[in-house]
Structure 1
Amino acid sequence: MIPNFKAHPWHGISAGEDSPNVVNVFVEIVPSDTIKYEIDKTTGYLKIDRPQKFSNIIPALYGFVPKTYCDTEVMKLAVESGATDVTTGDHDPLDICVLSSHNITGGVLLEAVPIGGFKMIDGGEADDKIVAVLVNDHVFGQFRDISEIPKAEVNRLMHYFLTYKNLPDEPAKCRIQEIYGADHAKKVIEASKKDYSDKFGG
């Protein structure tokens, strides 16, 4: 009898058969969470990273694309975009936000269509945030580029990432170099897949 093992969400699941056009996403945090959960890289289980200190609540599903890693190739794209203060990727899987009109729990796998993202620089590290829509979502599913999303929705996401690490009287710890569309988002995904292959093989 063959034992039934659970695949590691980061290393045991592909980025998606049709990536970068449609990607698999492992959801770590949902908009109702007041705790920041993060995948434990060793075990693959969700663990508590920290309670959210302030009223900053993630306005979309948030997680990562499996078998991605942000290092040299992702950093090069940030440099090409004009970032002069970046020296590396953040050495984590590629972050992704998924817009959906449905209530979804954390710790699940879903398919999403990348429509753009934010070139975020955090302490000299390229920390891209891909923005995507849930496949077949009745409200967001038809969008194919971040330019089609209401500006208020984009601003909400930007505000979260620019403020969620800061005390009210602290200077900003990170900045957004640029907002990019679907074409560049796919380049970032491919770069992070290359970084994963270079780091972990396969």
Structure 2
Amino acid sequence: MAHLWHGIQTGVNPPEDINVLIEIPSGSKCKYELDKIAGIIRVDRIIASAVYYPGNYGFIPQTLAEDGDPLDALVLSQISFHPGVVVRSRPIGVMRMTDAGEPDDKILCVPLRDPHYSQIKTAHDLPGNMLDEIQEFFRVYKNLEEKEVIIRGFESLELAVKLIKESISAYKKKYIAV
């Protein structure tokens, strides 16, 4: 089995066409997390708060974010994807977040071939109060664990693309001899 972070391509045409490795399905209270050494997904904990993931949460393979982990991504879909599944996606924006004092941005994505999201080009095209629900989840999901999360808002597709490019470069610099 391929290492889920290092052994899977970043995408067909990154940063516009990316792979997202799903760790946590939409609607879950179980926090799965990549074991960066073994390259597998493990159960990290059960969320203590009465909230559920508002999208399919995972990461973009072969990227390195500021926090030393792969770049986080939230794939919005009517479907809950199983942990370990790779979803070909396109970014639509980014939620800026700080977790325990460290940057912890989340790239917002939609599946590349989902007709329900084909007209969504940016995060602000999302229907209803979807952005509010996403923000509220991440603002409160660690409250009962007494951990501080600060949501700094949603930003553009252009910034998401920039962050993806930077995280690909950071990954290559650290893990691939040039």
Q: What TM-score do the two structures reach when normalised by structure 2?
A: 0.93
User: Number of aligned pairs?
Assistant: 177
User: Displacement, 1:151?
Assistant: 4.7
Aligned partner of 1:158 in structure 2 is 135
Q: Give matches, 1:102-141, under 5 Å.
A: 102-141=79-118
In 1, are the aligned partners of 2:47 and 2:142 still within 8 Å (CA)? no
**Partner SS, residue 185 of structure 1:** helix
Whole-Å separation in 2 of the counterparts to 1:185 and 1:32: 24
Structure 2 letter corresponding to 1:138: P
Whole-Å separation in 1 of the counterparts to 2:58 and 2:71: 8
Whole-Å separation in 1 of the counterparts to 2:33 and 2:135: 20
Match of 1:12 among 7, 19, 30: 7
In 2, are the aligned partners of 1:101 and 1:137 still within 8 Å (CA)? no
Q: Which moved more, 1:138-147 or 1:108-117?
A: 138-147
Aligned partner of 1:25 in structure 2 is 20
List runs of 5+ in structure 2 lacking aligned partners: none
Whole-Å separation in 2 of the counterparts to 1:106 and 1:127: 21
Aligned partner of 1:84 in structure 2 is none
Structure 2 letter corresponding to 1:118: M
User: Displacement, 1:25?
Assistant: 0.6
In 2, are the aligned partners of 1:101 and 1:140 still within 8 Å (CA)? no
In 1, are the aligned partners of 2:49 and 2:142 still within 8 Å (CA)? no
Whole-Å separation in 2 of the counterparts to 1:95 and 1:151: 24
Q: What TM-score do the two structures reach when normalised by structure 1?
A: 0.82
**Partner SS, residue 168 of structure 2:** helix
Structure 2 letter corresponding to 1:120: M
User: Displacement, 1:191?
Assistant: 0.9
Aligned partner of 2:71 in structure 1 is 94
Match of 1:43 among 25, 30, 38: 38
- Percent of pairs identical after alignment? 36
User: Displacement, 1:123?
Assistant: 2.6
User: Displacement, 1:104?
Assistant: 2.3
Aligned partner of 1:54 in structure 2 is 49
User: Which structure has the bigger radius of gyration?
Assistant: 1
List runs of 5+ in structure 1 lacking aligned partners: 1-5, 71-88
Match of 1:179 among 146, 154, 157: 154
User: Displacement, 1:150?
Assistant: 2.4
Aligned partner of 1:195 in structure 2 is 170
Whole-Å separation in 1 of the counterparts to 2:82 and 2:166: 29
Moved over 6 A (4+): none
User: Displacement, 1:176?
Assistant: 2.0
User: Displacement, 1:125?
Assistant: 1.2
Whole-Å separation in 2 of the counterparts to 1:17 and 1:176: 31
In 2, are the aligned partners of 1:94 and 1:189 still within 8 Å (CA)? yes
